[in-house]
Amino acid sequence: MTTEASSCEGTASGKVILFGEHAVVYAVPGIAAGIDRGARAKATRAASGERSSLLMSGRTLTPDEDSDHARAFRALLTVEPSCMGVHVEASADVPPGGGLGCSAALGVAIARAVESATFGDTPDEARVLERALAWERVFHGNPSGIDTAAAIAGTFLLYERGAGTKPLTPPYDVWLAVGYSGASASTKQMVEGIARIKDRNPDLFDKFLSGVRAIVENARLALEAGDGRALGQLMDMNQMLLAGVLLSTEAIEKMCAIARSTGALGAKLTGSGGGGSVIALGGICPRGERRSAAEELAVRIAAAWSDAGFAAFPTRIHGSHNDGATSLESPGQ
């Protein structure tokens, strides 16, 4: 967050689900992360008597309008009402509907900017969370909160239904390529499809949950150890399980194959499936390292996807500080 005169900025991360999507509905842990793309907002105090406004995608909204974004803006503002209005401009650089937490990132960025413009230079992060969740409820009813938590944290999180999120703090950065396979089916449809499998084939469903649980635990250990090759193998295993319960598509499988043929350590869908986004692992490197082999591979994978007609970009997930970290690229990368 930065402040210039009466103008204050807020930023937030987009998110990816690294491991455990869908299984988290059934109390299996999952691993998510905030990425270095997301959303940005700028808030300026309104003149006396002026109404608050939100400028997004070239359109200016006021809180008393009836669109979803106007109602979300109103909900965000009323968490801690102020006698002064604010003018907010907001934008995102992750696609909406791609399973990358676009709406949550916008909510957090707007909340941070509004907090700073209204109450001072440093935003109250507890109130930022409350405002951002109020924003998200307009779009998603009763969200799990994992998108908002990742948008705020910008790093790795372990999520378990009923227990909430807790940070994971590997002293390494992870480089991914993120690509968009095409429009996804609704999350509700995909969740209902998994529920039907549970009812019709409980043995298969139990094996799916057991497999995902083991993958998530081993992925947590691989992150702690900085073992990129193991992390990639676990991504491939998770993708096989997701495909086995009919969450993958021809486009997703094509993207995974392109990524692996380009050198990715692993690749999988991220989010609800049935379309949406795919992630591929470029590798792991010491925190903050520039021009690592992991970054270069993530860039090549994103370029290969783009050449095949899929929108894509490389991104970094930031780990915790550790000045003693050493390079942990996989051999040959």
Q: Which two tokens stand for residue 18?
A: 């690294």
**Confidence tier at 320 by pLDDT (50, 70, 90):** confident
Q: What is the structure's pLDDT at 188?
A: 82
Q: What is the structure's pLDDT at 86?
A: 95
> What structural domains and CATH numbers belong to the chain?
3-165 (3.30.230.10), 169-317 (3.30.70.890)
pLDDT in tens, 210-228: 999 999 999 999 999 999 9
Stretch 124-140: mean pLDDT: 93
Stretch 117-127: mean pLDDT: 87
Model confidence at 77: pLDDT above 90: yes
Model confidence at 330: pLDDT above 80: no
Q: What is the structure's pLDDT at 78?
A: 94
Active site residues: 147
Q: What is the structure's pLDDT at 328?
A: 32
Q: What is the structure's pLDDT at 189?
A: 87
Contact 176, 294 (CB under 8 A): no
pTM of the complete model: 0.88
Model confidence at 232: pLDDT above 90: yes
pLDDT in tens, 147-161: 999 999 999 999 998
Q: What is the structure's pLDDT at 186?
A: 80
Identify the residue with better confidence: 279 or 165: 279
